[in-house]
Structure 1
Amino acid sequence: MYTDVLDVDTTRRRIVDLTDTARGFCASHGDGLCNVFVPHATAGVAIIETGAGSDHDSPASGRCPQIDTLERLLPRDDRYRHAHGSPGRGADHVLPALVAPSVTVPVSGGEPLLGTWQSVVLADLNRDNPRRSVRLSFVEG
């Protein structure tokens, strides 16, 4: 197994596109599986559509509909028992129930077999910790 760890800053973006990094990681390998894993209790990894206008409602708004949806599903208020960090931080701990901590992508000839508009992204609603580690692992097959 081959592995690498990325340091990702989510201060400016709650969804960070990791697709190009994953492609670069896979390029030196042949056929197999690439796993992208975030070892944090308040972040997740997903495969979503980006780049076709779905990542922002409009260029001027800067809003991300995926994050807006997650924040509607996980409101940042006092309903959680979680007692430390910013208000509503308990919602951050529920996120991995909706957005898993890892995804696995098949790879052929060093190229991840993603669909045309599919991207591998890190999702992080936690405003208290913008520094994330993301582990890329490749298993030959």
Structure 2
Amino acid sequence: MRQASETITIETGGKGFVEFTDRLCEFVAASGIDTGLLTAFCRHTSASLLITENAAGAVKRDLAAWLERVAPEGPDYEHDCEGPDDMPAHLKQVLTGTTLSIPVARGAPALGTWQGVFLAEHRAAPHRREIALHLLGE
């Protein structure tokens, strides 16, 4: 078994989704590992990771609208240290998660045809987000 690890930084423009599938593919290819398991971990509590369709923009718009309905900004939260989007961002992160496990086959992430890997930024302001990558395989 071999291992590879790296931390990548993703710049966000505020609320929304940033696809980074290509960066995962580059990391796996550079590792020389043909078969294994890739773990991606978001090192933040107000951003998360998703695998979803990367072809139709309506998917991301519908996801964003659903998350806003489930965890809207408003005065009903005790935790608001960093503004009205603070606690809703944490709730959205809890719902969507910080860790993804992706099989690697033939030297590439074994994603489906329409699947992309996204960082979901849940805060209104732009941020620099760190994603820890770890690949184990042979």
1:8 and 2:5 aligned:
no
TM-score, reference length from structure 1: 0.86
- Matches of 1:12 and 1:70, distance apart in 2: 15
The 1:79–1:38 alpha-carbon spacing in structure 2 relative to 1, beyond 3 Å, is: same
Paired residue type of 1:44? S
The alpha carbon displacement at 1:93 in A equals: 1.1
Name which of 51, 63, 67 aligns with 1:66: 63
| Match status 1:110 vs 2:107 | yes
Q: Which residue of 1 aligns with 2:35?
A: 31
CA deviation digits over 1:46-89, x for unaligned, max 9? 11011134346xxxxxxx22212111111011111113112131
SS at match of 1:2: strand
How far does the alpha carbon of each residue in 1:71-124 deviate from its partner, in whole angstroms, 9 at most, with x for none? 111101111111311213111111222111010100012111111101111111
**TM-aligned CA deviation for residue 129 of structure 1:** 5.6
Q: Normalising by structure 2, report the TM-score.
A: 0.88
Change (3 A) 1:125 1:13: closer
Percent identical: 29
Partner Cα separation in structure 1 for residue 134 and residue 69 of structure 2: 32
CA spacing shift, 1:88–1:13, aligned 2, 3 Å:
closer
- Contact kept, 8 Å, 1:52 with 1:117, in 2: the verdict is no
Question: SS of 1:46's equivalent?
Answer: strand
CA distance in 2, matches of 1:109, 1:73: 39
Runs of 4+ in 1 over 3 A off after TM superposition: 52-56
Structure 1, unaligned runs of 5 or more: 57-63
* Residue 92 of structure 2 corresponds to residue 95 of structure 1: yes
Tell me the distance in 2 between the aligned counterparts of 1:11 and 1:53. Answer: 17
Provide the C-alpha distance between the structure 1 equivalents of 2:67 and 2:80, rounded to a whole number of angstroms: 21
Maintained 8 Å contact 2:14/2:122: no
Greater Cα shift, 100-109 or 126-135: 126-135
Q: Please give the root-mean-square deviation of Cα atoms over the aligned residues, in Å.
A: 1.7
* Structure in which a larger fraction of residues adopt helix: 2
User: For residues 24 and 117 of structure 1, what CA distance do their matches in structure 2 show?
Assistant: 18
Contact 2:54-2:114 within 8 A present in 1 as well: yes
